[in-house]
């Protein structure tokens, strides 16, 4: 009789980030397709994850008091608790999300978590798979050192975009492959051309709870107000062009941006707020759009899955994704974009330069094929139940790039 394989999925889940939850849901479906695999999630909010996904979940940190002396004690307890969690696992998987986007994280946050679990995986000889993750190449000091340790200890490491792959390849002895986020491998309603008999063009604006580059650690109200002002100028420009404007979230926290934007627009500008709160709902909402301009990475993925022309307003990961989709001139930095430039690019998509949807479709299909090849490899690895833990570890090897661009596994 085959023994269960205990799979721990590690990441920032349960925080109502629709993209992260979609990446987790995708990997859970792959793991659960293996008969004897039993997943557990290690995350921020285990009760939320269990309610959403129906699987057991554990916290990777305890609720710490604010005094430094007691906090250090609790941090050490977290470290020991992580070792116990890894000991109860046969394999640890980090599926998707920007776990190496250091611009947004302090050293005691995700970098410390990644260090801790990769350390215990190395000590206890457990495979540590980091699949289709993001990295921005930013950060320095302790946080960057902790992240580098995890990068180098990963049994297998793939990146979700070309820019992340380049960043991570510089920290390992072998190249890191670019394999798109798992959501590209999911089945969604088929892409379709927007209906020609509508009264108005539809343009989506995907928002982000932005307080400046270091907003998570040091919120900058002045940058927030400039951001809202620029978004309002885009929304007004679109309504002046007789377009219907639809506002999209990527996380529950984005509601605060919507509230401030609506207040800035006032009663004379009418926009619609979409009620989409999952990746599937975002895909369905975007299906009727002519163009999407988005600050959230997974808003752009939803647009790609519908072959909707998309414009990224963000940072490195947005720039890399739109370039891979054949739209390198459709990126604007979130810190200094000009509304007139974004409106001009939307105008080009709507009127002057109709999008080559066949080319966009071919590029999306290529990303999808790579993602599904990685999924198939993961199933094959998890299904090898006759192997010992040590033997199982030896099977986690770099995924070679085939001549046709697909990904496959090879035995060591």
* CATH number at 202-355: 3.40.50.2000
Question: What pLDDT is recorded for position 386?
Answer: 37
- Cβ-in-10-Å burial (0-12, 13-18, 19+) of 218 comes to exposed
Looking at the chain, the domain(s) classified CATH 3.40.50.2000 span 5-186+366-395, 202-355
| pLDDT for residue 404 is more than 50 | no
Q: How many CB atoms lie within 10 A of CB 297?
A: 25
Which stretches of 163-263 are assigned E, i.e. beta strand? 177-178, 202-206, 244-248
Query: 241 versus 190: which is more confidently predicted?
Result: 241
Cβ-based neighbour number of residue 344 at 10 Å: 12
Which class in CATH covers the domain with range 5-186+366-395? alpha beta
Q: Give the least confident one: 21-30, 47-56, 376-385.
A: 376-385
Percentage of the chain with pLDDT > 90?
70
The whole-number pLDDT of residue 138 equals 77
Of 58, 65, 46, 72, whose CA–CA distance to 8 is shortest? Answer: 58
Check: CB of residue 208 under 8 Å from CB of residue 334. yes
Mean pLDDT, residues 347-352? 83
Cβ burial, residue 289 (10 Å; 0-12/13-18/19+): buried
Q: Model confidence at 65, in pLDDT bands (50, 70, 90)?
A: low
Whether the pLDDT of residue 401 is over 80: the answer is: no
For residue range 103-120, what is the model confidence (pLDDT) as tens digits?
767 777 889 999 999 999
396 against 287, higher pLDDT:
287
Residue 59 in 3-state DSSP? strand
The residues, ordered by sequence, that sit 6+ positions from 318 with a Cβ below 8 Å of its Cβ are 295, 297, 300, 312, 331
pLDDT score of 337? 96
What's the whole-number mean pLDDT along residues 250-257? Answer: 95
If you average pLDDT over residues 246-264, what whole number do you get?
Answer: 96
Whole-number pLDDT of residue 283? 92
Q: What is the pLDDT of residue 326?
A: 94
Please say if the pLDDT value at position 405 is more than 80. Answer: no
pLDDT at residue number 217:
65
Burial environment of residue 121 by CB neighbours within 10 A (0 to 12, 13 to 18, 19 or more):
buried
**Model pTM score:** 0.90
Q: What are the tens digits of pLDDT across the range 307-335?
A: 999 999 999 999 999 999 999 999 999 99
Phi, psi of 206 (to 5 degrees): -90, 125
Give me the torsion for CA of 59, 62, 66, 71, rounded to 10°. Answer: -130
Least confident of 10-19, 97-106, 188-197: 188-197
What confidence score (pLDDT) does residue 412 get? 33
CA angle 98, 101, 104 (to 5 degrees): 110
Per-residue pLDDT tens for 265-318?
Answer: 998 899 999 999 999 999 999 999 999 999 999 999 999 999 999 999 999 999
- pLDDT confidence bin for 406, thresholds 50/70/90: very low
pLDDT at residue 200 is higher than 90: no
Please say if the pLDDT value at position 263 is more than 90.
yes
Asked whether the predicted pLDDT for residue 362 surpasses 60, the reply is: yes
pLDDT surpassing 70 at residue 403: no
Residue 396 has pLDDT above 60, yes or no: no
Residue 60, pLDDT score: 84
């Amino acid at each position: 009789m085959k023994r269960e394989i205990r799979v721990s999925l590690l990441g920032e889940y349960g925080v109502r980030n629709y993209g992260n939850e979609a990446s987790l849901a995708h990997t859970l479906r792959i793991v659960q397709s293996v008969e004897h695999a039993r997943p557990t999630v290690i995350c921020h909010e285990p009760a939320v994850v269990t309610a959403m996904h129906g699987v057991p979940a554990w916290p990777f940190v305890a609720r710490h008091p604010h005094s430094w002396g007691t906090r250090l004690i609790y941090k050490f307890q977290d470290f020991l608790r992580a070792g116990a969690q890894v000991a109860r696992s046969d394999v640890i998987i980090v599926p998707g999300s920007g776990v190496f986007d250091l611009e947004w994280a302090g050293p005691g946050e995700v970098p410390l978590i990644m260090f801790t679990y990769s350390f215990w995986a190395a000590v206890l000889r457990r495979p540590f798979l980091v699949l289709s993750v993001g990295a921005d190449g930013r950060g320095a000091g302790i946080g960057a050192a902790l992240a580098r340790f995890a990068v180098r200890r990963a049994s297998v490491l793939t990146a979700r975009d070309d820019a992340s792959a380049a960043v991570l390849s510089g920290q390992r002895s072998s190249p890191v492959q670019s394999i798109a986020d798992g959501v590209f491998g999911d089945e969604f309603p088929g892409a379709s051309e927007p209906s020609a008999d509508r009264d108005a063009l539809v343009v989506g604006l995907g928002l982000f709870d932005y307080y400046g580059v270091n907003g998570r650690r040091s919120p900058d109200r002045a940058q927030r107000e400039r951001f809202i002002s620029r978004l309002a100028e885009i929304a007004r420009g679109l309504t002046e062009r007789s377009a219907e404007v639809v506002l999209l979230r990527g996380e529950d926290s984005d509601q605060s941006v919507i509230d401030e934007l609506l207040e800035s627009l006032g009663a004379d500008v009418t926009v619609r707020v979409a009620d989409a709160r999952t990746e599937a709902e975002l895909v369905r909402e975007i299906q009727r759009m002519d163009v999407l301009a988005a600050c959230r990475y997974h808003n752009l993925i939803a647009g790609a899955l519908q072959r909707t022309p998309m414009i990224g307003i963000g940072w490195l990961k947005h720039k890399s994704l739109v370039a891979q989709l054949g739209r390198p001139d459709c990126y604007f930095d979130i810190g200094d974009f000009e509304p007139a430039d974004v409106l001009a690019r939307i105008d080009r998509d709507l009127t002057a330069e109709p999008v080559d949807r066949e080319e966009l479709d071919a590029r999306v299909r290529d990303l999808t094929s790579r993602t599904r090849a990685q999924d198939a490899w993961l199933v094959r690895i998890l299904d090898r139940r006759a192997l010992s833990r040590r033997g199982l570890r030896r099977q986690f090897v770099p995924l070679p790039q085939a001549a046709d661009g697909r990904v496959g596994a090879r035995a060591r």
